[in-house]
Structures are given as C-alpha cells and as structure tokens.
Structure 1
C-alpha cells in the first residue's frame, strides 16, 4: 500500500469516528477515418496468404481497438487524477476534524468547570452571592464582575455550539468526498476492464496471423503513417513553421527524448514506461510546468495555437476525440508513446489526424 493510501485510510478512520461523535475545436488535418467493421471475417484469418484488402481490414480493426483502449485509458487516468485530489481533500478535512475535536473537548471541559462551580454553590454563582450579601460596596465592586462572568458563560456556550456545527460540517464534507472517491474507484475499475478487454482482443487478433502476415501488417501500418505524413508535408505547412523552443520547451523535449525506447503501458507515467499523456505531462513537469494528466484535458485546458506558430515542446492533439497526444520536436516530427506493444518513438507529426496544437508554457 502506498504512503498516500495509508494516509487516506487513516484520515477516513478519523472521519468515520468523528461523524458519530459530532452527529446531531476544429481539426487541422482530414477527419479520422470512418469506423471499421467490428468483426474480421474468420475466413480471412484462416487463410495462409491473406489478400491485402483482408489484411487492411485486420489492421483497421486492430487500430480501432487500440483507439478505443486509448479513450478508456484517458477515462482511467482522469478518474485517477480526480481520486488523488479527493484523497488530498479528505486528508485536509481529517486534519480540520482533529483540530475541531480538540477545540470542542477544550470547550466542553470549560463548560464542565462552570457547571461544577454552580453545583458547589448550590446553583447560585459566586458573583450573585456577593450581590445578595447586603453589602452595597460589595455590590458595586462585583456588579461589573458578574456581568463579565455572564458574558463569558454565554460566549462559551455559543463557541461550543459553533464548534459542534463546524465539526458536523467537516464530517459531512468528508463523507461526501468519500462517496465521490468510491464512485471514482468504480469508474476506474470499469475503464480498466474496457482497456484490458480491447487490448486483449487486438493482441489475440494479431497473434492469429502467421509471422509473415504480422510483418506485412506492420509494413501496412508504416505505409499508412508515411502516406499521411507525406500528404501533410506536401501541404507546405512545414515552411510556415519556424518557431524556436523556449528554455522550458527545450527541457521538455530533452526529457521526452531521454525516454525513447521505453515501452508503452496504459496508465503509466514513468519512469520505466509511459502512455501518451503520461509522457507529455511528465516531460513538462520536468520542465517546471504542471499540466493536466490526460490528452483530453490537455486539449481543453491548455492554450491553443495555430499550427504555423508551432514550436518544439508544443503538444499536438490527435483524432476528433483528443484521444492521443505527441510532443513536437521540430522538423515535422514528434516524440510519442504510440500504443500497447510499441515503445516511445519519433514519428511524423502529420502521421495521424491532427485535431490541434496546445502550448503548455504560453
């Protein structure tokens, strides 16, 4: 169990105990291809010499499965990031509850002292006894003292009530956060199940191919990427891109470059493996700029720039659903973590359908 989990569980235990005590954009490039068939003909997979069109159908199906897995990975990462914030909030509330409980105990002790004093004097405060003594001078001397005592007692009771209300609010807030945390855990579990199912299906589909067909499949993937990159470069866009990296952008690119060859693992953010947004978020964290964890939130929250103004370190968001991200490194290339079974690599910036560009250090 992690340190965060241990701290959160301890906080939750305190919360539960005190709850009882206190109860009263538009795409730049062409849009993504239309969804491929959801099934691949069994006859095609059984053939010892697949026709190119059949192998293309297999590739399209595998691409869709990995794309859907990437979308689910974003959901998983978003749920995890939200859970981290909720855990921090629960710990903070638990600390407030502990402080509030100490204050409440102190106030109860003071109130108890007042009650015991009244019991010892037969229910008549000492100041009142002075007033009833029949001594005029004593009356004058103690009238102010009696008033002060009354105000102090009244103030003590008011503070006691406020402390109890505050403690109850903190306990309610913590309970609500715990409920959200529990719901988030269910969302994470559901996303994890979808990711694993889609990746397993893609890997099973690919494993049914013979070695030579898998090699042909990989070549088809490379050809599709090269064709997309060539079309992108042919538009003349690279001639317009002449932005220079900022010092922070250089650091981000250096970090990303140092991760080349490390495996893609969904949900990973280093240091041994990464998913696409895990790589970009950690690269910019290393450059001193915290950015959202997921590609979808990077697209939503970071400042968008025109592609002609792109500079090294900027993030290119891909596909209409912002399900993939890579870091622009200049000369029409990106560094990215592609998908399961691949490693962090350099690719053409236009090898996938570009949704837009965002700038972490705008």
Structure 2
C-alpha cells in the first residue's frame, strides 16, 4: 500500500472515530426571559458567579428578590441560547463530517479500482516485452494485423493517460476531503466546549435562583408570586395604554393558524432548557416546533429567529408572528391575538398564555413572510 493511500485511510479512520466520540452531543434549545441588555449577541454575555450563600430576606426586600430572580433567569436564558446555537452548529458539522467520510470511502474504492486497472496495463506491457511500435512492426509477419493493432494501442495509450489523470484528481480530492473533515472536527470540538460552558452557566444560574427561593417561607413565596403578577399586569396595562391594540388587526395566515394551534396545545407542559418537545419545551423550542408543524422550518434559537426572519412592525403583527423580547433577543413568544402570547417562560414554569406587553419587546418577526 502506497504512502498516500496509507495517509488517506489513516485520516478517514481518525475522522470516523472522532465523529463517534463527538456525535454524542446533547439536545438543542433556546432562551427564557428577563431584563434588557443592549444589542443581540449570541452567547458572550458573561454572568457573575453564584453567591456562596443566601440568607432569608425580610419581607420588605421581596421586590429585590424578584429583581434578583429575574436577573438570574435572564442569565440562564442567554446561556440557553448559546447552548442551542452550539448544538445546532454541532449537528450541522456532524452531518458534514459524515458526508465527507462517505466521499472518502467512495474515493478510496475508486482509487483502488484504478490502481488495479493500471496494474493490469503494466502487466500487459510486460508481456509484450515493452517493445516500441516500430520494432513490433518490423518483427510482425502480418503488417495489416499490426496496423489494426496499432490503433488499439493508441486507444490504450490515451486510456492510460486518462486513467493517470483520473487517479491524480481522485488522490487530490481525497486529500481535500480529509483536510475538510479535519477542519470540521476542530470546529465540532470547539462547539462541544462552548456547549459545555453554556450548560454549566445555565445550571449555576438556575441552582442559585432555586437556592434563593428555598430561603423564603411559604407566605413570602405567595407574596413574591403576587409581586410578579403585579409587575406583569402593570407592564401589560402600560403597553395597552399606548393604543397599540387598536392598530393590530391582522388575520392569521393558514400556516400561522396551524402554528398557533400547535403552540396553544402545549399549554401546561413544563419549561425545560434545551427542550423542543414533545413533553417539555424552552421558549424557542416551542416556537420552532410550532412552525415546523405548520410546514415552515425556522431557526432554533430566539436570537437567530430575530436575525434571520423578516421583521414586521408591532402594529402589523398577526397571530402566528413571533415577538422577540429584551435587547439581547433572549426570549421569544408567539402572538395569538387579542394582545396575548403563548410562551414557555422559564425554569419552574409551564407553557402558558400571557400578555404580549408583559416584557420589553425588541421586535416582531414573521416566519411565513411572502
């Protein structure tokens, strides 16, 4: 076996092994909700380390607790979008590597076949003694037969030249496939690390939020829930007070109606970061699956939904459109009409209906535009 072939085969084996190890990446996912941060950037938002300990707050500090919880869950939402983005990239890279592996295997089989043909041609030449055509003509007792054979020889020479060129191209392709696969493997490893880092941040923020809530007495938890409802109601009232609902009169498209039907059918199912059904969802897992059910695949994360889908004015939105929240596009919900949304809010909550103005709106996108 030649050195080039050993190199190609070794690379292919390395690629297959690496894909097997790296292909066990986790599930995909999206984001939750909370305070505004400027400009949508996929995952770079750094969050402070969890507090080493939390003490029981007095009743008058419950509003501060609510703000703190909002911040922790928002940080988890940002990290969730980063996790989802890394997962999507890893899926794509794994598919590309698998395709390259198939090309490498097919190319190697083709190269082996061509080498067999070249070997047969070399053995043929050896049997004729490698004599040039002029000498064969002089030694031939049948010149006409020789001339007929000479035409075949020329055809054979051309075929041999084409075979050599084809072998050269195939070897070059194999090297390129192997180089591409190696590059994809490096990217896949980088995304695996990014996903692991995001997963760690998510768990830290959720754990700290749960720890903070565990310090509360039952009556304080009830009061905290009241404060959250009050804040949401005030935000919705302020939003409706702008008269925006008077301007919103769009009717759902056929696809939008299907997406809304799917999303509202999930009401009551738990939020789980990275989940896209069927039993649990995160925010963009819900919206992406709802539109997939309507025959319109859309990006997996809230930030990519904001970046890639067509933007429409809030006044022009219709049921099925997606409302993107917070300055970093870390949360997404589906508008269902009458000033309401359906969304997967955050850990510890379930898919629910809510007021569209309860959180700061970044903008609206339409999956089935055009």
Equivalence for 1:331: 338
Q: Is the 8 A contact 1:328 1:334 kept in 2?
A: yes
Deviations 1:327-348 (A, max 9, x none): 0000000000000000000000
Q: How does 1:1-362 map to 2 (within 5 A)?
A: 13=13, 15=15, 32=36, 45-47=55-57, 49-51=58-60, 54-124=61-131, 130-133=136-139, 136-362=143-369
* Count of residue pairs the alignment pairs up: 333
Q: Is the 8 A contact 1:335 1:347 kept in 2?
A: yes
Q: Is the 8 A contact 1:241 1:311 kept in 2?
A: yes
Deviations 1:236-283 (A, max 9, x none): 000100000011111000000110000000000000000000000000
Instruction: Tell me, in whole angstroms, the C-alpha distance in 2 between the residues paired with 1:103 and 1:40.
Output: 57
- Taking structure 1 as reference, are residues 33 and 184 closer, same or farther at Cα in structure 2, changes over 3 Å only? closer
Q: What is the SS of the residue equivalent to 2:298?
A: coil
Instruction: Tell me, in whole angstroms, the C-alpha distance in 1 between the residues paired with 2:13 and 2:279.
Output: 34
- Taking structure 1 as reference, are residues 132 and 189 closer, same or farther at Cα in structure 2, changes over 3 Å only? farther
Report the Cα offset of residue 139 of structure 1.
4.7
Instruction: Tell me, in whole angstroms, the C-alpha distance in 1 between the residues paired with 2:198 and 2:50.
Output: 24
Q: Is the 8 A contact 1:243 1:312 kept in 2?
A: yes
Q: Is the 8 A contact 2:236 2:358 kept in 1?
A: yes
Deviations 1:184-219 (A, max 9, x none): 111100100011011111111111111111111111
Q: Aligned-pair RMSD on alpha carbons?
A: 2.5
Instruction: Tell me, in whole angstroms, the C-alpha distance in 2 between the residues paired with 1:99 and 1:201.
Output: 52
Q: Is the 8 A contact 1:39 1:61 kept in 2?
A: no
Larger RCO (CA under 8 A, 6+ residues apart): 2
Q: Is the 8 A contact 2:137 2:146 kept in 1?
A: yes
Instruction: Tell me, in whole angstroms, the C-alpha distance in 2 between the residues paired with 1:223 and 1:346.
Output: 16
Q: Is the 8 A contact 1:131 1:138 kept in 2?
A: no
TM-score (norm 1): 0.86
Report the Cα offset of residue 137 of structure 1.
3.4
